Amino acid sequence: MRRRILVLVISLLLGACTGGADEPAAADRSVPPPPPSMAATVDEDPLPAAAWSARAEAPLALTEVTAAPFGGQIWVAGGYAENGRPVADVQVYDPASDTWSQGPPLPQPLHHTALVATGDRLFVLGGYTTPDFAAPTDAVHVLDPATGEWQEAPSLPEPRGAGAAAYDGERVVYGGGVGLDGGVAADVIALGGAAWEPVGELQSPREHLAAASDGAGTVWLLGGRRGDAGNLAEVDLVVGDEVARGAALPTPRGGISGFHAPGAGGCAAGGESGEGTFVEVECVSTDGEVTTLPDLAEPRHGIGAVTLDGNAYVLLGGPEPGLTVSDTTQALHLP
């Protein structure tokens, strides 16, 4: 049964919630406004308006999932079930037939992980192994398409949950997240060969952020929240060995997911605060232009989001703050 509860969307608040457990506080860092060259400008002629359309419901309703396009399908990995337990399930959506199937289970139950496709390989990175946010992992696994089994890959430098990752066309780029000691990270690292290498630092430490990439060298690290659960609007651009400040999102929020929209840049979808969940979909280009795409049909956080064959997809997630789940799949055609 589809679990969809429409809630009042409250934008531009700096509250947030956890997925059922308290998270440690981290020092708030004041961040100066972006330089004039990167100041946000709202697009006066946004992409043509369209509506998100409903697609087939997922077999298992979840929240705090991650998603990636792989082999012409959309893979959704891990997450929280309605009873608060982490799952190892991998659900695979085929847009061509609008049907779901089961993929090979993860090596262990995970939530707040990252899933990244690099063309012929699919990586699952980090995440939490227990319901209470007490045990992030540094484990990285890669799917062997020939056997359909997950194999070990170079581990993250340290355990990390609630970070974000994307493929820039040559490397897997990972930023932010929470470590074993509960501290929120600001480092950005990249895997281009046999080991992870440091790239730089975010404007400030944050977690529950989103990542998106154009696949041609640029990764956007969008939004997120501080260790004290305050939502942020910050955007960082990762190009080569540099991390630069981008234009801010109009709506500060954590618990979001990201995708790339040609002509608009890196986009942040959904999210939550302590008072509600968000429908906003906002994109930031490399030159500082901000474009607003049509709102989600339903507010959700803890979602997966991808771009595939000219369409954006937002999958599963919680309709209310905290531990709520859905089986919802929505699609938006990108001009």
Q: pLDDT tens for residues 300-328?
A: 999 999 999 999 999 999 999 999 999 99
Question: Sign (positive/negative) of CA torsion 38, 231, 211, 261?
Answer: negative
Q: What is the largest CA-CA distance in the chain?
A: 52
Contact 110, 78 (CB under 8 A): yes
How much is the average pLDDT of 107-121? 96
Strands 329-333 and 53-54: what pairing? antiparallel
Contact 327, 298 (CB under 8 A): no
Q: pLDDT tens for residues 188-219?
A: 999 998 999 999 999 999 999 999 999 999 99
What gap in Å lies between CA 170 and CA 61, rounded to an integer? Answer: 33
Q: State yes or no: pLDDT of 112 exceeds 50.
A: yes
The encoded tokens of residue 324 equal 């709520």
Would you list the domain boundaries of the chain?
37-333
How much is the average pLDDT of 284-291? 97
Strands 196-201 and 289-293: what pairing? unpaired
Mean pLDDT: which of 17-26, 220-229, 305-314 is highest? 305-314
Those residues whose C-beta lies under 8 Å from the C-beta of residue 193, and which sit 6 or more positions away, are none
How much is the average pLDDT of 101-130? 97
How much is the average pLDDT of 138-159? 95
Q: State yes or no: pLDDT of 161 exceeds 90.
A: yes
The candidate with the shortest Cα–Cα distance to 59, out of 89, 88, 35, is: 89
Q: What is the pLDDT of residue 127?
A: 98
Ranking 28-32, 118-122, 206-210 by mean pLDDT, the lowest is 28-32
Strand order in the sheet with 172-175: 164-167, 172-175, 187-191, 196-201
Q: State yes or no: pLDDT of 51 exceeds 80.
A: yes
Taking CA 112 as the corner, what is the angle to CA 65 and CA 67, rounded to the nearest 5 degrees? 35
Q: State yes or no: pLDDT of 29 exceeds 50.
A: no
- Its pTM stands at 0.85
How much is the average pLDDT of 104-130? 96
In our burial notation (b when 16+ CB lie closer than 10 A, e otherwise), range 204-232 reads: bbbbbbbbbbbeeebbbbbbbbbbebbbb
Q: What does the mean pLDDT of the chain come to? A: 87
The single residue listed with the structure tokens 């944050």 is 206
Percent of the chain residues topping a pLDDT of 90: 80
Residue 300 gets the label, from left (phi > 0), alpha (psi -120 to 50) or beta, of beta
The candidate with the shortest Cα–Cα distance to 286, out of 204, 217, 334, is: 217
How much is the average pLDDT of 273-282? 95
What gap in Å lies between CA 258 and CA 176, rounded to an integer? Answer: 14
Confidence of residue 128 (pLDDT cuts 50, 70, 90): very high
Q: State yes or no: pLDDT of 81 exceeds 90.
A: yes
Beta partners for residue 144, in sequence order: 149
- The fold of 37-333 is Neuraminidase (2.120.10)
Strands 41-42 and 289-293: what pairing? parallel
Phi, psi for residue 37 in degrees, rounded to 5: -65, -20
SS3 37: helix
Beta partners for residue 66, in sequence order: 77
Distances in whole angstroms, Cα of residue 311 to Cα of each of 95, 207, 218, 224, 259: 10, 27, 20, 24, 10
Whole-number CA gyration radius for the chain:
18
Ranking 12-21, 61-70, 321-330 by mean pLDDT, the lowest is 12-21
Confidence of residue 24 (pLDDT cuts 50, 70, 90): very low
SS3 128: strand
Q: What is the pLDDT of residue 49?
A: 58
Q: What is the pLDDT of residue 274?
A: 86
